[in-house]
Chain A
Amino acid sequence: MKLSDLKPSALKATYRKLFVVEKSPSEKEKPKDLKKELRDFWYGKPHEERRLGDLYVENTGLYKHREWRGVKDTFYYFHMIWLYNYAHMVTDILKYGEGMQALPAFLKGTMRYRWMGQTYLTVMHWFDRGMEGMRGEALRASAWHYRGMTSETIRQFMRMFISDKKLSGGQEPELWKKNIAHNETVGGSIFYPWRDVLDDVPLEMIPYFVSVHVNNHTVLNYIDAAQSIGLPSDPCPMCQAEYGLFVLDDYPDYAPTMVTSNEACDGSVATSILQDWFLNRPLYAMPQPMRYDDPLVQEHCQKEIEGCWKFIEEQYGIPFDWEQYVKYARSFNKLTEFEWEKWDVAANTEYYPINGVAQALYRIYYSQDGDRPIWHEIDDHVRRIMNKTVKNKIITFPKTRHRAIAWSCAPLYYSNWCTWAYNCWGINCVINMDSLMFDQYLRTDTYEHALEDLAWMNEKAPMRAMAVGGHEHILSLWNYMERFHCDMVIMYDQLQCKGMQGIHGVFEDEFRKRDIHAIWIPHALPDKRTVSRKEIRQIINDYMTTVMREEPLDPTLVDFDDDASW
């Protein structure tokens, strides 16, 4: 800090920058209306008067002050979201850290790993971004989804930290031998037979995937590191980041083995080559067939899963436990049943209480992770809220002008764009492509049925179900549009995804032929430097004003700077 910063004028300017919301000229000129002010205080301002964009501290995404949502919702947010989650961010560490070792392990992990130290404490801001402008039941249900993801994240990183050789001076902690590391694209369901005795923890889920959503600053280091050893910049940046972690030695060493797969694409296969080098330990590759609709490929896929099970048995000396598999698969089926219930409400009513980002992230997180108690706890909360909205016919997103479906994979650094799109333009993102994967019930009546279903489910994993195995999968968009009663498509244009780029023109042709409003959102998954959030918003703004000829619901959200935000 410079001395000049302490001058009263500088302090005043800083204070104004960080705390003072400037009123617009028209607001200044308005005569005082005490009754309206009281109403706004009690209920919160109507959507069109909120001026949410004025709340931002320029360029940072921080708030001069958090939004006043009316007494009830503000205090719900304060108590049940902000305080509740901060408190649980402490208690969950103790809960999942297995006793006294939890706190030192957490502190060591925070100081050792960039993805942890820079990211963990900014979690509440991730909630804020996802929940901007939301009210009532939609606010509550969406926040529960975020709570579930936060809790499971804590469980995973605590398991990594208390088992981490690097945090234990190179010694093997007791739990090191009881963990299976796997690529984040390998479904947790594969490991159900050992869930009670071993813990399967995806290697990149927290260090890369979750951390980008919370704070996208850290991932840029990993992408740069990946390229620093000679990789060109065009491969999928997700894969780059996944192995950039290894180049920077920023991965926890918490398990003696690794299971990897070819999901979702060529880049994933290729990433395994470099990860294998850096991990330098037994690695089992469990590929899924590409042409997964073909009945002839199923047996091969099932055998590869059995191969993985045999690998675990041999490496850990613990036999396959059918009872465990049945227990967890049945429990997971309950989550799937509720998911279908949610889809039904989302598709056919206006009472679906979950916003686009909460729906997308929660679905991809829990279905990839597999059955865990927290998901059931969260589903209970959300079920109660959804029952209420349906029963009382509560329209959860009352300013909806367009029901949108988002297709292909989303920008990880801006998965909350749909909260903005609703607040600014009334675009309600009802469903997205990755939510529709793993659409599979797991039979447990016989081993053969179980294996058949498990294989089929893993063939339809995230980013993969629609992307491979024939153009008909990716072009199933039209059916889903109809099923979810959507009138608009948000077409994610992942610039480095060869599979999606390779079918770009066909979509253009079809959109024209079918007269569908489609907005292409270019992005580079975790790398905001390629296409910034502001540029993404500008593309939507341009479409809404020039093609749709619509006026924004909240004009302050049309143009603002948040390049340096988390």
Chain B
Amino acid sequence: MKDLVHLFELEDLLQEANNELVRKAKEDGKRILGYTCYFMPEVLLDLPGCCGVRLRAPRSSSPDMATYYMSNRTCMYGRCLLERALEGGYNFLDAQMATETCTVTCRFQEHLQLMDIIRNPDFFCEFTDVPFKKNDNSIDHFEKQLRAHVLEPLKERFGIDTSDEAMRSAIEAHNEICRLITEIGSYRKLAEPTITGTEFSIIQLASLTCPKYLIVDKLRDIAEQLRTRKPDEKKTYRCKVVLSGSEEDDPNFVKLIEECGALVVADRHCYGSIPGREEIEIRAGETPLRAIARHYLETSMCPRFMDQHIMRERKEFLANVAKEYHADGIIVSQMKFCEYWSYERTIDTLILPRDYGIPVCSIEKEYVNNAVGQLRTRFQAFVESIELKQLTGKEAAK
């Protein structure tokens, strides 16, 4: 396929957290607000006068200093973030909008509070409590939390306009990004997808880590190009898969899967777009903040949710994603030491093939991906098993 416009530029922007566009936004007088989790509504961090940056630690190697603070038995994502912070890589942050949604990222953010790491006199780190259930009580709670721990500090410390009008305009801008990403992602549903998983992953990550007002034009161009982009004449993949699981912000990992012959057609993982890029709808009678609180609880598919019917629906949701995107299998990937996903992966691996007939490749990986050889073997074997299954199916049909 023809190269996608802006893709190399976006890929370049992913090489560091304090990238060129973040620096540009800072020059424009924007406050830069870090966050790590989907439960921190990015739309609120993109209110006029500030920009949200979902933290990554690209090009990390061995997080030695962070390992002293967090030991080598915690999720490497959290450790790499702390290492980058200790190296001074996040000094551009004006605030960290934190959530205690998984233990290790929480501890990372607590270190920011405790150790005076960020060299910025204005810097502060504020925690929001996130509920574990999807009900009315949870929305009330989340709404209150967002008001007290996001809007009020932003207003008090940085003079950000947090009025309903400002939120409405932020929602509008956010929805445009969502519409564009959803459109771009929708080409993965085609019988012959016109965008690869790696390309999509770069675009989606850029939308999370760059000021949105500075990349929206690029996304428009990409969407425009995709409307007429033609797939390769000769199929370059052997099967299609959904990538599901815990934190994943490395396009090279997606590339690795695709090099093994499996086209990644859907990204249902932290930092992915399913869910993540649904438009926020303000229902009749709802305030914008209420709509935001409801939206993030309603759309999230995090294994942190505990209602019985929600725990069970998650499996069906994943199966439906596979169906919708015509995937032949699912790769469930878990960051080593992520407790939520170690359990969710276990049950997904057992239930999805049994109840939905979808083959699952279940893997555990590190944030800094050193085990490329082993993973390659696993993915190649998975692709072969899917092909074999398809062949057997065809023969049986004859």
Do A and B interact with each other, yes or no? yes
Q: Which residues of A contact B (CB under 8 A)?
A: 229-232, 234-236, 239, 260, 262, 265-267, 269-274, 276-277, 282-285, 287, 289-291, 294, 296-297, 299-300, 303-304, 307, 468-471, 495-496, 498-499, 501-506, 508
What's the nearest-Cβ distance from chain B to residue A505, in Å?
Answer: 3
Query: Contact between A296 and B74 (Cβ–Cβ < 8 Å)?
Result: no
Task: List A contacts of B102 (CB < 8 A).
Answer: 266
C-alpha spacing A498/B79, complex, angstroms: 12
Q: Which of A289, A307, A503 contacts B110 (CB 8 A)?
A: A503
Given that A501-B71, A501-B73 are known contacts, is A290 also in contact with B308, CB under 8 Å in the complex? no
Q: If A269-B304, A471-B113 touch, does A262 touch B100 (CB 8 Å cutoff)?
A: no
Distance in angstroms between the alpha carbons of A34 and B362 in the assembled complex = 72
Query: Is B229 interfacial (CB-CB < 8 Å)?
Result: no
From B111, B113, B339, B346, contact of A265 by CB (8 A): B339
List 23 A–B pairs whose Cβ atoms lie within 8 Å, in order of A's numbering. A231-B342, A232-B334, A234-B337, A266-B102, A269-B132, A270-B303, A274-B343, A274-B346, A276-B311, A285-B133, A285-B306, A285-B308, A287-B306, A290-B130, A294-B148, A300-B131, A303-B137, A470-B110, A498-B73, A502-B104, A504-B69, A504-B71, A506-B111
Asked if A300 and B140 sit within 8 Å, CB to CB, the answer is yes
Are B308 and A231 in touch, CB under 8 angstroms? no
Nearest CB of chain B from residue A107's CB, rounded to whole Å: 35
Of all chain A residues, which has the CB nearest B110? A471
Within the complex, the shortest CB–CB distance from A325 to chain B, in Å, comes to 21
Within residues 119 to 175 of chain B, which ones have a CB less than 8 A from any CB in chain A?
127-133, 135, 137-138, 140-141, 144-145, 148
Q: Considering residues A272, A471, A495, which has the most beta carbons from chain B within 10 angstroms of its beta carbon?
A: A471
A46: shortest Cβ distance to chain B, in Å? 43
Over the window 243-276 of chain B, the binary record of Cβ atoms lying under 8 Å from chain A Cβ atoms (1 yes, 0 no) is 0000000000000000000000000000000000
B129 touches A266 (CB 8 A): no
C-alpha gap A51/B127 in the complex (Å) = 54
Which 9 A-B pairs give the minimum distances between C-beta atoms? Answer: A502-B107, A505-B69, A270-B343, A285-B306, A300-B141, A287-B132, A291-B129, A266-B339, A290-B100
As a 0/1 sequence over residues 106 to 117 of chain B, the CB contacts with chain A under 8 angstroms (1 = contact) are 111011011100
Kindly state the separation between the CA atoms of A277 and B307 in the bound complex, as whole angstroms.
13
Chain A's closest residue to B78 (CB) is A502
Question: CA–CA, A498 to B107, complex, Å?
Answer: 9
A265 to B343, alpha carbons, bound, how many Å?
Answer: 13
Cβ-defined contact, A273 with B343, below 8 A = yes
Please state if A300 and B138 are interface contacts (CB–CB under 8 Å).
yes
Q: Is A262 a contact of B306 with CB atoms below 8 Å?
A: yes
Contact of B148 among A232, A235, A296 (CB under 8 A): A296
Query: Would you give the shortest CB distance from B387 to chain A, in whole angstroms?
Result: 24
Q: A503–B111 Cα gap in the complex (Å)?
A: 8
Question: Range of interface residues on chain B?
Answer: 35 or more
Q: Name the interface residues of B300-342: CB closer than 8 Å to any CB of A.
A: 303-304, 306-308, 311-312, 334, 336-337, 339-340, 342
Q: Which residues of B from 57 to 76 have beta carbons under 8 Å from A?
A: 68-71, 73-75
Report whether A230 and B350 are in contact in the complex, using a CB–CB cutoff of 8 Å.
yes
The answer for the CA separation of A236 and B73 in the assembled complex, in Å, is 11
Residues in B neighbouring A262, C-beta threshold 8 A: 132, 306
Which residue of chain A lies nearest to B312 when distances are taken between CB atoms in the complex? A276
CA distance A307 to B136 in the complex (A): 12
- Min Cβ gap B132→A in Å is 4
Given A234-B337, A266-B103, A297-B129, the answer on whether A502 and B70 have CB atoms closer than 8 Å is yes
Q: Is A498 within 8 A of B343, CB to CB?
A: no
- Minimal Cβ-Cβ distance residue in B for A279: B308
* B364 interfacial contact with A, CB 8 Å: yes
Q: Please give, as numbers and ranges, the residues of chain A lying within 8 Å of B137 by CB-CB distance.
A: 300, 303-304, 307
